[in-house]
Amino acid sequence: MKKTPSLTSDESQLFRDAIKGTRKIKQDTLRAELRPVKQKREMRESREMLGIGHFFSDEYQPHLDEEGPTRYVREDVSKFELKKLKRGLYPPEIYLDLHGMNQNQAKQELAALLSLCQKENIHVASVMHGIGKHILKQRIPNWLAQHPNVRAFHQAPREWGGDSAILVLLDIEE
């Protein structure tokens, strides 16, 4: 192994004069093993800031009727509530427009909407998914059926969006 020659006192003084007035550089890179943990923590914190407390699964497939309009009623809720939604007797208090969003963005916005409804005591929401390639139209009912505060949902009447929207009845604690 080859040793490097040590600096003489003159060279050492020249070096000190050359770096005079500089400051130590702060290390700004992360070690590779810490990066995923930090990203997960940041994602969790951002979800908490948005108030998103419920996460939707893409694998869950609820038993929804394939025939007719999109509809769902929770087991402990009267079927009459579903009829009221269908007839438009519950006007929406808030609207969410998901046009142009991908699935992840739509999922986050839907979770944020449901959280906001719970905070603001909003009982009926309209979720406009559009027609397009029917991707969001198929996914949104599956996500809504998973949420514990969703009492029922039905395809919106024509005046509130028709085939391209869903009216959601929420269970809000008084």
Which domains does the chain possess?
50-170 (3.30.1370.110)
From residue 1, give the alpha-carbon distance in Å to each of 4, 5, 7, 89: 10, 13, 19, 87
Section 100-125 average pLDDT: 89
Cα dihedral 80/82/86/88 (nearest 10): 80
**48 CB contacts (<8 Å, ≥6 apart)?**
none
At 166, is the pLDDT very low, low, confident or very high (cuts 50, 70, 90)? very high
Computed over every residue of the chain, the mean pLDDT equals: 81
Give the pLDDT score at 163: 84
User: Where residue 51 falls among pLDDT bands split at 50, 70, 90?
Assistant: low
* HSE-up of residue 83 (Cα within 13 Å, Cβ side): 3
Query: What percent of the chain lies above the pLDDT cut of 90?
Result: 14
The pLDDT value recorded for residue 32 is: 52
Q: Which of these, 148, 149, 166, lies nearest to 157 by C-alpha position?
A: 166
What pLDDT score does 128 carry?
92
Q: Tokens 């000190």 — which residue?
A: 16
pLDDT-derived band at 28, boundaries 50, 70, 90: low
CA distance 129 to 146: 18
At residue 11, does pLDDT exceed 80?
Answer: yes
Residue 145 has pLDDT above 70, yes or no: yes
